[in-house]
Homo-oligomer: A and B are copies of this chain.
Amino acid sequence: MIIDKLIDKIIEKQNPSAVGLDTCLAYLPLDMQSSIKNGNDVCNSIFEFNKRIIDKIYDIVPAVKVQIAYYEQYGLYGLEAFKKTLDYAKSKDLIVISDVKRNDIGSTAECYSKAYLGGVNINGFDINDFESDFVTVNGYLGSDGINPFLDDCKNNDKGIFILVKTSNVSSFEIQDRQLRSGERIYEIMGYYVSKWGKEFIGKYGYSSIGAVVGATQPQQAIVLRTENPSSFFLIPGYGMQGGKASDIANSFDARGLGGIVNSSRKILCAYKSDKYSKLSFDDAAREAALEMKEDLTSALNAAGKTMLKKKLKGV
């Protein structure tokens, strides 16, 4: 099951983090930026940047999270770079999380699911350009918008992370509203994630149907971790957005498992910081990724949540 593969890799690398390849042109070194003359150069430069980062981090991190919005802004050229990035990350045996936050009614959600988790077959040939291990999904439309993804998760051994409590400052406006029944909206969403994920629970007790819970939301993370023991968390918001490793430990269980923490800009743009200014962008990214790993594992240890050292055998 894909969630087991992800957790196996986290344990193998003793690193519960993902590198976020949210690559926009402003993150590239100036010489790379200035040589861009047309759309094809946009595609090639972004892919070259990502490839060099992947080459320097694939042995130390279990997964990459690729935020499609950064590619979509560059139209078809950007989306070609997105596809090439996914393909290259898969060739390096990384777990690929496509952060797409797609959502729609059932028949349309089915198309989105095919785009990322299933592919289509037409007269005997396949199109599966954006195949990913996991995608993020927005659950505001309810079950019939989620079911097509669940079908593909089952048929193709894929996973999804559903937005529950997001990392941004105004996430409280809708998500923290309290219902007559007492719960907050994010708790209701968490409840549905658990419900939708029941048939996808793997050997570690976690489901391939997980939840997005921002690193900036430590109090809500305690609630959600308690109420949803089998939901694995995708945790954005570490680093530039202000999420601290000590807070993130709230999302983990006593085995040091339960979530994967994403950092994007702090890794991609590490070479712009004073600390790493003497390094190339890819070497700086590796150092920043190692620093993040150390920060997270220290915080887990300090919280008495030292990570399992050995993978569970397949069950």
Q: Chain A interface (Cβ within 8 Å of chain B)?
A: 22, 24-25, 33-34, 36-39, 42, 67, 69-70, 72-80, 83, 101-106, 108-109, 111-112, 114-115, 120, 122-123, 125, 127-130, 138-145, 163, 166-175, 177-180, 185, 188-189, 192, 236, 241
Nearest 9 A/B pairs, CB to CB: A75-B129, A142-B170, A142-B173, A69-B111, A105-B168, A73-B111, A143-B170, A73-B114, A72-B115
Measured between C-beta atoms, what is the minimum distance from A245 to chain B in Å? 20
CA distance A144 to B46 in the complex (A): 27
- Most chain B CB within a 10 A radius of its CB, from A70, A105, A170, A241: A105
Say whether A115 contacts B69, CB under 8 Å: yes
Say whether B112 contacts A69, CB under 8 Å: yes
Apart from A73-B127, A79-B79, A140-B174, 18 more pairs, CB < 8 Å: A25-B122, A33-B123, A39-B125, A67-B111, A69-B102, A70-B111, A73-B114, A73-B120, A76-B79, A101-B104, A101-B138, A103-B138, A140-B140, A141-B174, A142-B175, A178-B179, A179-B179, A180-B180
- Most chain B CB within a 10 A radius of its CB, from A22, A25, A36, A70: A70
When distances are taken between beta carbons in the complex, the residues of chain B under 8 Å from A180 are 178-180
Among candidates B33, B120, B141, B163, residue contacting A168 with C-beta atoms closer than 8 Å: B141
Measured between C-beta atoms, what is the minimum distance from A68 to chain B in Å? 9
- Known: A75-B129, A76-B80, A125-B38. Is A185-B174 also a contact (CB below 8 A)? yes
When distances are taken between beta carbons in the complex, the residues of chain B under 8 Å from A179 are 177-180
When distances are taken between beta carbons in the complex, the residues of chain B under 8 Å from A115 are 69, 72-73, 75
Say whether A105 contacts B166, CB under 8 Å: yes
Which residue of chain B has its CB nearest to the CB of A25?
B122
CA distance A136 to B192 in the complex (A): 24
Say whether A108 contacts B70, CB under 8 Å: yes
When distances are taken between beta carbons in the complex, the residues of chain B under 8 Å from A37 are 123, 125
CA distance A139 to B174 in the complex (A): 8
When distances are taken between beta carbons in the complex, the residues of chain B under 8 Å from A70 are 108, 111
Say whether B185 contacts A171, CB under 8 Å: no
Measured between C-beta atoms, what is the minimum distance from A136 to chain B in Å? 9
CA distance A171 to B139 in the complex (A): 10
- Known: A108-B67, A111-B69, A123-B37. Is A170-B145 also a contact (CB below 8 A)? yes
When distances are taken between beta carbons in the complex, the residues of chain B under 8 Å from A139 are 174
When distances are taken between beta carbons in the complex, the residues of chain B under 8 Å from A79 are 76, 79
When distances are taken between beta carbons in the complex, the residues of chain B under 8 Å from A236 are 105
CA distance A39 to B125 in the complex (A): 9
Say whether A141 contacts B114, CB under 8 Å: no
Say whether B111 contacts A72, CB under 8 Å: yes
